[in-house]
Amino acid sequence: MVFYIFRRFVNYFFLSLIATCLAYVVSSLALDPAAKYYGRNPQPTQQTIDNILNGLGVNPDVPVLQRLWDWLVNIVVHGSLGNGVNGVSIGDQIISRAGVSLRLLLIGSLIGAIVGVTLGVWGAVRQYKLSDQAVTYGSYLIFATPTFVIGVLLMIGATALNGAAGMQLITFTGEYSAGLTGSWWDLALDRGIHLLLPTIALVLIGAAGYSRYQRSVMLDVLSADFIRTARAKGRSRNSALVRHGVRVALIPMSTFFAYSFGTLISGSIMLEIVFSFHGMGEFALNAISQSDINAVAGTTLFVAILILFSSTLSEVLYAALDPRVRN
Amino acid sequence: MSLVEETNAELGAPDVLVTPTPLGVGVPSGPPARSRSRGRLIWRRLTQTSRFWVGAIAIGLILIWALLGPLFYPFDALTRDPLNMGLGPTQLHWFGTNSIGQDLYAQTLVGLQKSLVIGLIAGPLGTLIAAVVGSVAGYMGGVVDRVLVWCINLLLVLPSFILLVILSPLFKGLSWVFLTIFIAGFSWMIMAQVVRSQTKSLRDRDFVKAARYMGVPMRKILGRHIIPNVASLLIIDATLGVVAAILAETSLSYFGFGIRAPDVSLGTLLAEGTSAAVTRPWLFVFPAGVLIVTLFAVSLIGDALRDAVDPTSGVNRD
- The answer to whether the peptide bond before residue B32 is cis (omega within 30 degrees of 0) is no
- Please say if the pLDDT value at position B245 is more than 90: yes
Distance from CA of A289 to the nearest CA of B (A): 9
Q: What is the pLDDT of residue B13?
A: 38
What are the per-10-residue average pLDDT scores of chain A (327 residues)?
Answer: 84 88 86 74 76 74 81 80 78 87 90 92 86 88 91 88 80 74 79 87 92 87 86 86 85 83 88 88 86 86 89 86 75
pLDDT > 70 in chain B, percent: 83
| Residue B82 · residue B213 · CB < 8 Å | no
Q: Which residues, at least 6 apart from B269, have a Cβ–Cβ distance to it below 8 Å?
A: B104, B107, B108, B111, B287
In a mutational test of the B interface, the residue from A266, A270, A283, A289 whose CB has the highest number of chain B CBs within 10 Å is A266
Average predicted confidence (pLDDT) for chain B: 79
Contacts of B292 in chain A (CB under 8 A): 141, 144-145, 149
Contact across the interface for B170 and A30, Cβ inside 8 Å: yes
How far is residue B62's CA from residue B243's CA, in Å, rounded to a whole number?
A: 14
pLDDT digits (tens, 9 = 90+) for B76-117: 777 777 676 667 677 777 777 777 767 888 888 888 998 999
Q: What is the pLDDT of residue B20?
A: 42
Contacts of A288 in chain B (CB under 8 A): 165-166, 168-169, 257
Q: What is the pLDDT of residue B23?
A: 44
Name the packing angle between helices B142-157 and A2-30 (round to 10°). Answer: 70
Contacts of B302 in chain A (CB under 8 A): none
Contacts of B247 in chain A (CB under 8 A): 146
Q: What value does the mean pLDDT take over residues B280-304?
A: 88
How far is residue B234's CA from residue B218's CA, in Å, rounded to a whole number?
A: 20
pLDDT digits (tens, 9 = 90+) for B118-140: 999 999 999 999 999 999 998 88
Contact across the interface for B314 and A22, Cβ inside 8 Å: no
Residue type, A229: T
Closest among B139, B299, B305, B298 to B233, alpha carbons compared: B305
Distance from CA of B49 to the nearest CA of A (A): 14
Q: What's the farthest any 2 CA atoms get from each other in chain A?
A: 86
| Residue B173 · residue B238 · CB < 8 Å | no
| Residue A210 · residue A253 · CB < 8 Å | yes
How far is residue A15's CA from residue B149's CA, in Å, rounded to a whole number?
A: 12
DSSP state of B102: B
| Residue B11 · residue A251 · CB < 8 Å | yes
How far is residue B52's CA from residue B302's CA, in Å, rounded to a whole number?
A: 8
Question: pLDDT higher for B281 or B248?
Answer: B248
Give chain A's domains with CATH numbers: 102-278 (1.10.3720.10)
Closest among B81, B89, B102 to B282, alpha carbons compared: B89
How far is residue A249's CA from residue B67's CA, in Å, rounded to a whole number?
A: 46
pLDDT digits (tens, 9 = 90+) for B154-209: 888 888 888 888 888 887 777 788 889 999 999 898 889 888 988 888 888 888 88
Q: What is the CATH number of domain B84-309?
A: 1.10.3720.10
